[in-house]
A and B are shown apart, each in its own frame.
Chain A
Amino acid sequence: MKRDIILAGVGGQGILSIATTIGMAALNTGLHLKQAEVHGMSQRGGDVSSNLRIADHEIASDLIPYGQADLIISVEPMESLRYLPLLSPGGWLITNTRPFINIPNYPEMDKLMAEIEMFENHIALDADEIAKKLGSSRSANMVILGAASPFLEISYTELQEAIRQIFARKGDAVIKLNLDALQAGRDFAEAHIN
């Protein structure tokens, strides 16, 4: 078993919170893990990505080979498309539809969405809107993770457990908000797949 995941977004959007959660669940499951992060200049509002590799055997490369990623998980719609050369045929694209516009030439939304929808294996959701409705706009990334959860080959209860561990010090209310966000994302994905 292996899952090679590209996490994508814009510097400052917190894609590493998703990586941390998946990583903890993977470790608790006894899987091997490698995670290449981006530090430095591009964190200042530039495009950022992280290579997250999970496997039941030792992993050689820190970088996922082009055309072999199983999943792209993106917290921003345009960024989800930047990493298509890495995605394997049959891989899934899971993306937030809420744009992060910090450049003057950001493409028109309908063109962007048309490009995403051309892709057969995709799940696109407004995670910010869903999180806001749940009463915690800051948990949008957990909604995205929930939407990606059916494709991770890590049990859903392990993801829940990871969230409980990570937020243990923040109290039950915060844990519940994040678990609800995870569930909302998963519900959306399952409705979309079926």
Chain B
Amino acid sequence: MDQKLMLLGDEAIAQAAIDAGMSGIYAYPGTPSTEITEYIIQSKEAKSGKIRAGWSTNEKTAMESALGMSYTGKRTMVCMKHVGLNVAADAFINSAITGANGGLIVVSADDPSMHSSQNEQDSRVYGKFALLPVLEPTNQQDAYDMVHYGFDMSEALGVPVLMRITTRLAHSRAGVIRKPARAQNEIHLPADPRQFILLPANARRQYKQLLHKQVEFEKYALESGFNVFTDGEDKTKGIITTGIAYNYLLENYPDRYIPFPVLKIAQYPIPYSMIETIYNSCDTLLILEEGYPVVEESVRGFLNNGKTIHGRLDGTVPRDGELNPNIVAVALGKKDTRGKDIPSVVVGRPPSLCSGCPHIYSYNALNEALEKWSKGRVFSDIGCYTLGALDPFDAINTCVDMGASITMAKGAADAGLLPVVAVIGDSTFTHSGITGLIDCVKDKSQITIMILDNETTAMTGGQDSSAFGRIEDICLGVGVHKDHIFVLDPSPKHHEKNLAILKKELDYEGVSIVIPRRECIQTAIRHIKKNKKTETIPSEA
């Protein structure tokens, strides 16, 4: 089994889950976490092992399904991007109180520098909030090994384990050596039949148990070998790294010799004794974290009256954004090797809607329909169509969180901003839009909701959309009147007809649904290609 595979960090996690005897994975797609579940969906090994693999409607339903599988005694994983953990938070925090039965790993992929996100929140804070152990792999091999370890630990301690990764680990490829495969668990229900019943009396007892287990969590973090203290001769400075920050530190010492004591952290809660050792033996500390200054804040303490600590809070490292070898070099007092400046002739090239994308024609019609009104009345959402904020469309005014288009438009309508429009994609609609629609129907809000149905989850690469073929039925089912549900073909030749419908519905004093429907151009091309033999490496190899 010492076969070396070239895997993305995401793929290493997926392969490890298969090898560690996982029985099912649940997820909602979100960059940079998507490839974990995609890998398992496409894996022949997963298929032959009858591993349940597929997309859930949102992160909360995914988290709860995984908890249900853990209840049965089987191993399971749930994956999401960092902001997805906000959606799953209710289930996640309470899963710490119920505890796990079969091994349960929650993977949350953070996106510092916001490559494809609206914030750079640090999931380690959630781990602390839930009082659960957190694993933060340093590299792809670590990620693979930690999944095996995480399942074992989850079952031994009877709690879910949070694995926190970041973009550069998730989307970088490196060699990974596999471990021997382990069989899946048989169904075995929890020994304590009250474990998963969080009535206050039970919950108080369970919560006390969770608090008692903190000592064990720390002991695991001390003994697992993932947290490593390496002494150094030069005690003027001790360096603490978390996650992939260690690699950037190492990169600055090509001969791999670091003169300072280094504490490499990859598992939480951080063992007190390890911090004590490096703090007591060094004059100052430099703390390098990919994400929030989580460790830095706790080592500093509220009064900050101990030794000098450098990091993100004193400006030695920028307060926001991901790290890189050069930022770490400067923090170490080394020279920045940055090369020539970008010539002024180079201009920005923001992402844009693909040529032929159906959203283009939806926005063209919407912009024209709204011409007679003042600007600022289109509430949008998360997906490719958020690019409607950019030139040449300049068509939307908000993008906050999954599903916020409908509910924010409702609030604005309640305030008297009429007409208002919500623009939401088909997948985002099922993720978190339906509940907001029910609010609108109940209050008879004057709101026009465009559900841009490209029949896929396009932004993350074309995953199945939960509402495929059922959007009108869902709208009817929650109480939208059938006379105010329209399906349009977002193509140039139907522009006048689409425009007329939109104009009419903007005047309607109630909830109306307009569904421009045409398949995403990317998945459409893929479907055509699938039926034809390709001649060279596909463009997205």
In the bound complex, CA of A10 to CA of B172 (Å): 19
Is B6 in contact with chain A by the CB < 8 A criterion?
Answer: yes
Task: Write out, one digit per residue, whether chain A residues 66-82 have a CB within 8 A of any chain B CB (1) or not (0).
Answer: 11110000000011011
What residues of A have a CB within 8 angstroms of the CB of B329 in the complex?
Answer: 65
In the bound complex, CA of A69 to CA of B278 (Å): 34
Is A62 in contact with chain B by the CB < 8 A criterion?
Answer: yes
Majority DSSP secondary structure for residues of A touching B: mixed
In the bound complex, CA of A78 to CA of B413 (Å): 45
CB pair A139–B536 under 8 Å, yes or no, is yes
Is B86 in contact with chain A by the CB < 8 A criterion?
Answer: no
What residues of A have a CB within 8 angstroms of the CB of B341 in the complex?
Answer: 84-85
Please pick, from A16, A89, A170, the residue contacting B541 in the complex, using a CB distance under 8 A.
Answer: A16
Please pick, from A11, A47, A88, A138, the residue contacting B535 in the complex, using a CB distance under 8 A.
Answer: A138
In the bound complex, CA of A13 to CA of B392 (Å): 23
In the bound complex, CA of A37 to CA of B538 (Å): 16
CB pair B324–A65 under 8 Å, yes or no, is yes
What residues of B have a CB within 8 angstroms of the CB of A136 in the complex?
Answer: 535-536
CB pair B541–A44 under 8 Å, yes or no, is no
Is A168 in contact with chain B by the CB < 8 A criterion?
Answer: no
CB pair A46–B352 under 8 Å, yes or no, is yes
CB pair B345–A36 under 8 Å, yes or no, is no
Please pick, from A40, A106, A178, the residue contacting B460 in the complex, using a CB distance under 8 A.
Answer: A40
Considering the complex, give the chain B residue whose CB is closest to the CB of A39.
Answer: B171
Q: Which has the most chain A C-beta neighbours within 10 Å: B169, B340, B342?
A: B340
Please pick, from B174, B244, B340, B533, the residue contacting A84 in the complex, using a CB distance under 8 A.
Answer: B340
Q: Which has the most chain A C-beta neighbours within 10 Å: B6, B32, B339, B352?
A: B339
What residues of B have a CB within 8 angstroms of the CB of A154 in the complex?
Answer: none
In the bound complex, CA of A11 to CA of B128 (Å): 38
Considering the complex, give the chain B residue whose CB is closest to the CB of A44.
Answer: B351
- By the criterion of a CB under 8 Å from any partner CB, how many residues of chain B are at the interface? 58
In the bound complex, CA of A67 to CA of B324 (Å): 12
Please pick, from B174, B175, B339, B534, the residue contacting A87 in the complex, using a CB distance under 8 A.
Answer: B339
CB pair B535–A62 under 8 Å, yes or no, is no
Please pick, from B6, B244, B346, the residue contacting A62 in the complex, using a CB distance under 8 A.
Answer: B244
Is B199 in contact with chain A by the CB < 8 A criterion?
Answer: no
Is B248 in contact with chain A by the CB < 8 A criterion?
Answer: yes
Is B35 in contact with chain A by the CB < 8 A criterion?
Answer: yes
What residues of A have a CB within 8 angstroms of the CB of B460 in the complex?
Answer: 40
CB pair A66–B537 under 8 Å, yes or no, is no
Considering the complex, give the chain A residue whose CB is closest to the CB of B31.
Answer: A40
Please pick, from B248, B346, B537, the residue contacting A78 in the complex, using a CB distance under 8 A.
Answer: B346
What residues of B have a CB within 8 angstroms of the CB of A85 in the complex?
Answer: 338-342
CB pair B536–A105 under 8 Å, yes or no, is no
CB-CB contacts below 8 Å: A1-38 with B: 10-14, 16-17, 20-21, 23, 27, 32-38
Shortest beta-carbon distance from B168 to chain A in Å: 5
CB pair B337–A81 under 8 Å, yes or no, is no
Shortest beta-carbon distance from A19 to chain B in Å: 9
CB-CB contacts below 8 Å: B335-369 with A: 336-343, 345-354
What residues of B have a CB within 8 angstroms of the CB of A84 in the complex?
Answer: 339-343
Stretch at the interface among A107-115, A121-129, A182-190: A107-115
CB pair B172–A32 under 8 Å, yes or no, is no
Task: Write out, one digit per residue, whether chain A residues 132-175 have a CB within 8 A of any chain B CB (1) or not (0).
Answer: 00001011011000000000000000000000001100100010
CB pair A66–B173 under 8 Å, yes or no, is no
A87-B340 contact, Cβ under 8 Å, with A63-B168, A65-B329: yes
Is B8 in contact with chain A by the CB < 8 A criterion?
Answer: yes
In the bound complex, CA of A192 to CA of B329 (Å): 37
- By the criterion of a CB under 8 Å from any partner CB, how many residues of chain A are at the interface? 70
A82-B346 contact, Cβ under 8 Å, with A14-B537, A42-B115: yes
CB pair B337–A67 under 8 Å, yes or no, is yes
In the bound complex, CA of A121 to CA of B461 (Å): 37
Considering the complex, give the chain B residue whose CB is closest to the CB of A58.
Answer: B256
What residues of B have a CB within 8 angstroms of the CB of A106 in the complex?
Answer: 347
CB-CB contacts below 8 Å: B156-180 with A: 168-169, 171-175
Considering the complex, give the chain B residue whose CB is closest to the CB of A34.
Answer: B174
Shortest beta-carbon distance from A31 to chain B in Å: 10
CB pair A33–B346 under 8 Å, yes or no, is no
Is B64 in contact with chain A by the CB < 8 A criterion?
Answer: no
What residues of B have a CB within 8 angstroms of the CB of A36 in the complex?
Answer: 168, 171-173
Please pick, from B115, B339, B340, the residue contacting A41 in the complex, using a CB distance under 8 A.
Answer: B115
Shortest beta-carbon distance from A23 to chain B in Å: 7
What residues of A have a CB within 8 angstroms of the CB of B8 in the complex?
Answer: 37
In the bound complex, CA of A34 to CA of B244 (Å): 14
What residues of B have a CB within 8 angstroms of the CB of A87 in the complex?
Answer: 339-340
In the bound complex, CA of A48 to CA of B254 (Å): 28
In the bound complex, CA of A55 to CA of B248 (Å): 16
A17-B536 contact, Cβ under 8 Å, with A62-B247, A63-B325, A107-B345: yes
A39-B32 contact, Cβ under 8 Å, with A60-B251, A85-B339, A139-B536: yes
What residues of A have a CB within 8 angstroms of the CB of B342 in the complex?
Answer: 81-82, 84-85
Is B459 in contact with chain A by the CB < 8 A criterion?
Answer: yes
Is B384 in contact with chain A by the CB < 8 A criterion?
Answer: yes
A62-B172 contact, Cβ under 8 Å, with A81-B343, A115-B345: yes
Considering the complex, give the chain B residue whose CB is closest to the CB of A173.
Answer: B535
What residues of A have a CB within 8 angstroms of the CB of B387 in the complex?
Answer: 44
Please pick, from B116, B326, B337, B535, the residue contacting A40 in the complex, using a CB distance under 8 A.
Answer: B116
Is A191 in contact with chain B by the CB < 8 A criterion?
Answer: no
27 A-B contacts (beta carbon < 8 Å):
A11-B351, A14-B538, A20-B537, A33-B6, A34-B172, A37-B172, A39-B32, A39-B461, A40-B115, A40-B459, A41-B116, A42-B116, A44-B384, A44-B459, A61-B324, A61-B325, A62-B247, A63-B248, A68-B337, A84-B339, A103-B348, A103-B350, A106-B347, A115-B345, A166-B537, A174-B535, A177-B535
On B, residues with C-beta under 8 Å from A are 6, 8, 31-32, 34-35, 115-116, 168-169, 171-175, 244, 247-248, 250-251, 324-326, 329, 336-343, 345-354, 384, 387, 391-392, 459-461, 533-541
7 tightest A-B CB contacts, nearest first: A40-B116, A46-B351, A40-B31, A67-B337, A14-B539, A60-B250, A62-B172
